[in-house]
Amino acid sequence: MSSNQDIQLEVDGDVAIVRLNRPGKRNALSDGLILAVRHAFENLPSTVRAAVLDGAGEHFCAGLDLSELKERDAGAGLHHSRMWHAALEEVQYGPVPVIAALHGAVVGGGLELASACHIRVADSTTFYALPEGARGIFVGGGGAVRIPRLIGAARMADMMLTGRVYQAEEGERAGFAQYLVPEGQAFAKALELAKRVAQNAPLTNYALMHALPRIAEQPADQGFLTEALMAAIAQSAPEAKQRVRDFLEGRAAKVGKG
Ligand code: 1HE
């Protein structure tokens, strides 16, 4: 899929597994790796219905590859940040929902990458930090937009001002992850969820990826209209009609019963 050895793509049925594969450097995101992330999500096989994003080794991702952070003028810095934006847009607004399997360090640009995913599963070794503050820089991979939507601007400012680190349990309570699992189980849980997500009607997944975050940012009056349009389109699909019929005729699972 990609010639870059720092990323791996596997396909398991209708789920793609994209794995950052630079464990020796704690999956630090070099420019090459960020471009490979973009390429992987832009080129998922058309049979794929959901994806898991994982990191090889003991850490999900140590953020920006600091060895590449050379003197950049303002223009080069702007384009570098926009390159990250383009890559992470492919994760958030690509073809399928993405479930991140978090463990160890989820820091700096690694947290920005995790924030672009739709569901985050963290194991008990996970920790979250934004060392940009200590390094004298700022987030540049969309974190200023996405992270406050997970945890609030006040928590993010505290992390960057004071270097505060959130451990797994506290992090889940704060909103970084929707699931917290024992050590070593994040990938298995993420895969299980991805297989479940892959069963949804594609238009439902589309609505959740593309309409919901935008509706949530719209003034209520516009949001209600966008919601109504999306609802009308989703329910008009033959698959939606079949699924409703299956429930009414006793063929579909009841809520909470498998
Ligand atoms: C790296 C990086 C990196 C590790 N860039 N090389 N991110 C940070 O400020 C986080 C920096 N990293 C760490 O704090 C630690 O490495 C970890 C807590 C993630 C892991 O600790 P540990 O003890 O398991 O590993 P290590 O011994 O620190 O690192 C192993 C190797 O990975 C080592 O290289 P080696 O050649 O000496 O073996 C490290 O130098 C290397 N390494 N992290 C480059 N980040 C869009 S803007 C986003 C801005 C940011 O993301 S700023 C935050 C950057």
Q: Whose CA is nearest to atom 30 of ligand 1?
A: 25
Quote the pTM value: 0.96
Placement of tokens 């993010």 in the chain? 156
Which tokens is 40 given? 């992987």
Q: Is residue 60 within 8 Å of 126, Cβ to Cβ? A: yes
Pairing of strands 7-12, 166-167: unpaired
Burial environment of residue 83 by CB neighbours within 10 A (0 to 12, 13 to 18, 19 or more): middle
Residue 18 sits at φ, ψ, to 5 deg, of -105, 125
Going along the chain from its start, the domains and CATH numbers come out as 2-197 (3.90.226.10), 202-248 (1.10.12.10)
β-bridge partners, 20 = 7, 55
* pLDDT for the residue numbered 258: 64
Element (H, E) at 20: strand 15-20
For residue 83, give the nearest of 120, 133, 29 by alpha carbon.
29
| 3-state secondary structure at position 107 | strand
pLDDT tens sequence for the chain (258 residues): 445 899 999 999 999 999 999 999 999 999 999 999 999 999 999 999 999 999 999 999 999 999 998 778 899 999 999 999 999 999 999 999 999 999 999 999 999 999 999 999 999 999 999 999 898 899 999 999 999 999 999 999 999 999 999 999 999 999 999 999 999 999 999 999 999 999 999 999 999 999 999 999 999 999 999 999 999 999 998 888 899 999 999 999 899 886
Candidates 30, 66, 132: which one to mutate for ligand 1, based on the most atoms within 8 Å of Cβ?
A: 66
Helix 238-248 vs helix 220-236: angle between axes, to the nearest 10 degrees?
80
Q: How far apart are CA 83 and CA 62, in angstroms?
A: 18
Query: Helices 74-92 and 31-42, interaxial angle, to 10°?
Result: 30
Tokens of 65: 């590859």
Task: Return phi, psi of residue 201, to 5°.
Answer: -65, 135
> Cα of 142 to ligand 1 centre, how many Å?
20
Q: Which residues line ligand 1 (CB under 6 A)?
A: 25-26, 28, 59, 62-67, 84, 105, 107-109, 131-132, 135, 139-141
What does the block give as tokens for 109?
């640009």
The CA dihedral of 75, 77, 81, 87, to the nearest 10 degrees, is 90
